[in-house]
Structure 1
Amino acid sequence: MMHEEGYIEVTGGRVWYQLFNKNSANTPVIILHGGPGSSSYSLEGLQALQADRPVILYDQLGCGRSDRPNDQSLWQLDRFVEELALVREALKLDEVHILGHSWGTTLAAAYYLTKPSGVKSVIFSSPCLSAPRWEQDQIENLKTLPKEIQETIKRCEETGTTDSEEFKAAIHEFNKRFVCRVESDPEWIKKGSCYRNPEIYNIMWGPSEFSVKGNLKSFDCTSRLNEISCPTLFTCGRYDEATPASTEYFSTLVASGKIHIFENSAHMPYFEEKEEYLQVMGNFLKTIDSN
């Protein structure tokens, strides 16, 4: 199958993309990675969706294989929304499905609410559609961890020592429960970490997962989810930091909202339950294309 890759000019620099199965007549799906400031690296398994359609993966500006301009004013939600519009335009994606994961769902929602044409469906995978609600959920999640881990995280946040080894060890325990519940290949993780840009995460979110101090602090689009009129799928893991309760709540606000929970996953079902994830996504997209 046809695979191309290259760069697209956007505000502030160039973003790197991959396009799989270009010549398929079915509606393409564009994948929006998490972060902010991670990359499409850990989602590369989703290229398997090319069995039915074109698949586009791209690294948002500032991370992955895209340009890394040294300009902090670029790290704003609106610019990422504009970037997505430019990627669509450059690749002539007149009709498109959008699959966002984690921060990618924040971006997907903000983009959809600009009322672009030709969006056939949206998949919110492990959604963050309200920063205040996410923060609240993490406070609740933390309470399920051993007391000393809770105290370490709280202390390091208060003293600004979130880059200390003890904070990293405490976060590791949190991650084992709420981010990824299967052992992943350390080499794979090591390779992925060079694609991240912690500065973007810090500016937009903050120094840690648990308290939003960045410019996304007040992001909350729940009151506008009723404006989504295309078929919409909400998914998360049973143990996800994007909690099943919040994910379900979001799904009730969209007229055509469906929900699927991956029973053996946390925040990375595309890795933790790869086959089921691909099946659920693939079936949802096929159903829409056949209507």
Structure 2
Amino acid sequence: MFEEGFIDVTGGRVWYQLFNKNAKGTPVIILHGGPGSSCYSLQGLKDLAKDRPVIFYDQLGCGKSDRPSDTSLWRIERFVEELAQVRQALNLEEVHLLGHSWGTTLAAAYCLTRPSGVKSVIFSSPCLSAPLWEQDQRRNLEKLPNETKEIIISCEEKGTTDSEEYKKATEVFNKYFVCRLDPYPEWLKQGSKNRNPEVYNIMWGPSEFTVLGNLKEFDCTARLKEIPCPTLFTCGRFDEATPETTQYYSTLTPGSSFHVYEHSAHMPYVEEPEEFLRVSGDFLKKSDSL
């Protein structure tokens, strides 16, 4: 069974999809990256629906959801509220959460409000500390060809991150640390229309490498010990969300587990889809029985 529609949330309506509504397993909500991206690239995770209901939604401001002009909406507290409203609208008393990238920021912030009924969380390529993310990207820049690294640093310093040379340099970075598939899948290129750069710029900033937006101070590492449910931390071997930092988050979270996708960067659900589904599916099944 499949349904889709809109849910009223603070500031507008968000578009959702629900696969296999009547399956017996505990539902899983997919929280996409960004901020200001969409669930478009994560659609392959609907294969998890062989065991459970799977819910996707485009967060407000992107994808097929409303795009209101009120910039005060673009803050983490409202996105946490939005997730609670999605759960309520779909009567999801018990859920798993699977967040990717910024979706892990959202998942952690939501869990720290102590909602009931969260059975487990998968933190895929996590960003749970903006300062640590920034430090990791500085280290990653050192692994790039010198010319590429210097262009990125220079454009940041000059405020020319909208220039063509900066765009080309970040494309090189992306081939190293975001998606290593060559050629880059054509269908992924089509997904750019789902993004809303305004949301990203307000919350993160104009550059991946230096956080200037309102998430600049976000760091929940000191509170990861408060997450009471089973957690799985995963990342790619060549991920922006580095294995070292991802494992560090895991050490701070009691009873958590950690997995590295050896042939992936930041998009293992695209780069190693079968392995991603296997690891995630096994963890969710195990958590169902707890």
Q: TM-score, length-normalised on structure 1? A: 0.98
1: distance between equivalents of 2:173 and 2:239? Answer: 11
2:231 matches 1:232: yes
1: distance between equivalents of 2:252 and 2:190? Answer: 38
2: distance between equivalents of 1:54 and 1:183? Answer: 33
CA-CA distance at 1:186 after TM superposition: 5.1
2: distance between equivalents of 1:184 and 1:221? Answer: 36
Question: What is the aligned partner in structure 2 of residue 163 from structure 1?
Answer: 162
Amino acid at match of 1:138: Q
1: distance between equivalents of 2:38 and 2:201? Answer: 15
Secondary structure at 2:244's aligned position in 1?
A: helix
Question: What is the aligned partner in structure 2 of residue 75 from structure 1?
Answer: 74
Question: What is the aligned partner in structure 1 of residue 145 from structure 2?
Answer: 146
8 Å CA contact 1:122–1:233 kept in 2: the answer is yes
Amino acid at match of 1:74: L
Secondary structure at 2:29's aligned position in 1?
A: strand
2:119 matches 1:111: no
Number of matched residues?
290
Question: What is the aligned partner in structure 2 of residue 174 from structure 1?
Answer: 173
Question: What is the aligned partner in structure 2 of residue 197 from structure 1?
Answer: 196
8 Å CA contact 1:229–1:256 kept in 2: the answer is no
Q: TM-score, length-normalised on structure 2? A: 0.99
1: distance between equivalents of 2:232 and 2:61? Answer: 28
Q: Deviations over 1:144-167 (max 9, x none)?
A: 111111110011111111111111
1: distance between equivalents of 2:257 and 2:188? Answer: 32
Please, which runs of 5 or more residues in structure 1 have no aligned partner?
A: none
Secondary structure at 1:16's aligned position in 2?
A: strand
* Matches for 1:24-103 after TM superposition, within 5 Å: 24-103=23-102
1: distance between equivalents of 2:182 and 2:114? Answer: 40
Question: What is the aligned partner in structure 1 of residue 18 from structure 2?
Answer: 19
Question: What is the aligned partner in structure 1 of residue 3 from structure 2?
Answer: 4
CA-CA distance at 1:290 after TM superposition: 2.6
CA distance 1:20–1:184, shift in 2 (3 Å): farther
Question: What is the aligned partner in structure 1 of residue 285 from structure 2?
Answer: 286
Secondary structure at 2:194's aligned position in 1?
A: coil
CA-CA distance at 1:187 after TM superposition: 3.4
CA-CA distance at 1:25 after TM superposition: 2.1
Question: What is the aligned partner in structure 1 of residue 207 from structure 2?
Answer: 208
Amino acid at match of 1:101: H
Instruction: State percent identity of aligned pairs.
Output: 72
Secondary structure at 1:249's aligned position in 2?
A: helix
CA distance 1:167–1:86, shift in 2 (3 Å): same
Amino acid at match of 1:264: H
8 Å CA contact 1:101–1:126 kept in 2: the answer is yes
List 4+ stretches of structure 1 deviating above 4 A: none
* RMSD between superposed Cα atoms in Å: 0.8
Secondary structure at 1:194's aligned position in 2?
A: helix
2: distance between equivalents of 1:140 and 1:190? Answer: 27
Q: Deviations over 1:205-248 (max 9, x none)?
A: 00011000000000000000000111000000000000000000
Question: What is the aligned partner in structure 2 of residue 252 from structure 1?
Answer: 251
